Amino acid sequence: METAYFNGKFIPKEEIRISPDDRGFLFADGIYEVIRWYEGFFYDMSSHVTRLKRSLRELRINWPDADLFPSFAFDLIKLNNLENQPAMVYLQVTRGAARRTHSFPSPEVPPTAYAYAWGFIPDSKSNETGIKVMLKDDIRWGRCDIKSVALLPNTISFQEARENGLKECIFVRNGLITEGTHSNIFFVINGTLFTHPESNYILSGITRKNILRIAQEAGIAIREEAVQENRIRFIQEAFICNTSAEVTPVTELGGNTLGEGIPGPVTKIISAKFNNEIKALKG
């Protein structure tokens, strides 16, 4: 039996009932977080709590329990016997249930909070040999910095990648490469690491932030600058990153083979350093 968190309580997942008037259902009026459990700890939980609070603030959802995320996420791991395996925790908070109207409910209604945990097998083959990804016009809204559950452009674009036998779809806005449907992307051009700067056009990934720190500690030159789609031929290496995929090399971008078509040396250094950090945290 799967135990989930629902509005402050732990209950069997199948007993959860959410109103059809929930604004998450009606308007995708909610936010979410995803964090990885590494057989003993959550990676960079404090950054996830900070981003969770920011998402709530940006959408003006008053949910007082954000600081309890570390504690109930850990409870979910324990209650579902996931302590000793790679696992993920998903949390979603919506503005709550109220008669459908575009303006916010007045008076305010309690938010709906739901979280669950699941064990998974990391895709180590992709981490080692790399993946092929497609490119597509960024059809999303102008607030990609908010971790909102309104993910239709992301899901249909990822589906398109899947149907083409590719592992991710990378968005291009006004000729500039932004990020993936559920990942950030880095490039190596003449030894310098490039990634789109933090802005309303990308999600500030926690993995992205930690990779920038790791690269800086390793003395790798960094430029938080978007790469133009028409400069793909100058890219020697690329990798995507997110909470579950960590550092995943990209060997082909929009039909263009990058470098030798295998994970490049800078990518390998960053990936190794990231993995070493995890190992050290495991103790």
Q: Which of 207, 248, 251, 267 lies at the binding interface for ligand PDD (CB under 6 A)?
A: 207
CB of 121 to ligand PDD, least distance (A): 16
Contact 175, 199 (CB under 8 A): no
Q: Which of 147, 209, 279, 282 is catalytic?
A: 147
DSSP of 178-232: EEESS-EEEEEETTEEEEPPSSTTS---HHHHHHHHHHHHTT--EE--PPBGGGG
Distance CA 15, CA 9 (A): 12
- Is 149 a residue that touches ligand PDD (CB under 6 A)? no
Q: Which of 205, 249, 263, 264 lies at the binding interface for ligand PDD (CB under 6 A)?
A: 205
- Is 203 a residue that touches ligand PDD (CB under 6 A)? yes
- Is 271 a residue that touches ligand PDD (CB under 6 A)? no
Contact 23, 97 (CB under 8 A): yes
- Residue for token digits 């452009």? 153
- Is 138 a residue that touches ligand PDD (CB under 6 A)? no
Q: Which of 157, 242, 251, 267 lies at the binding interface for ligand PDD (CB under 6 A)?
A: 242
- The binding track of 9-48 with respect to ligand PDD, each residue x by CB under 6 A or -, is -------------------------x--------------
Residues 6+ apart with CB under 8 A from 54: none
Residue 112 or 183: which CB sits closer to ligand PDD? Answer: 183
Is residue 209 part of the annotated active site? The answer reads: no
C-alpha 102: how far from its chain's center? 28
Residue 97 or 187: which CB sits closer to ligand PDD? Answer: 187
Distance CA 74, CA 36 (A): 11
Query: Which residues are at the interface with ligand PDD (CB under 6 A)?
Result: 34, 179, 182-184, 203, 205-208, 241-244
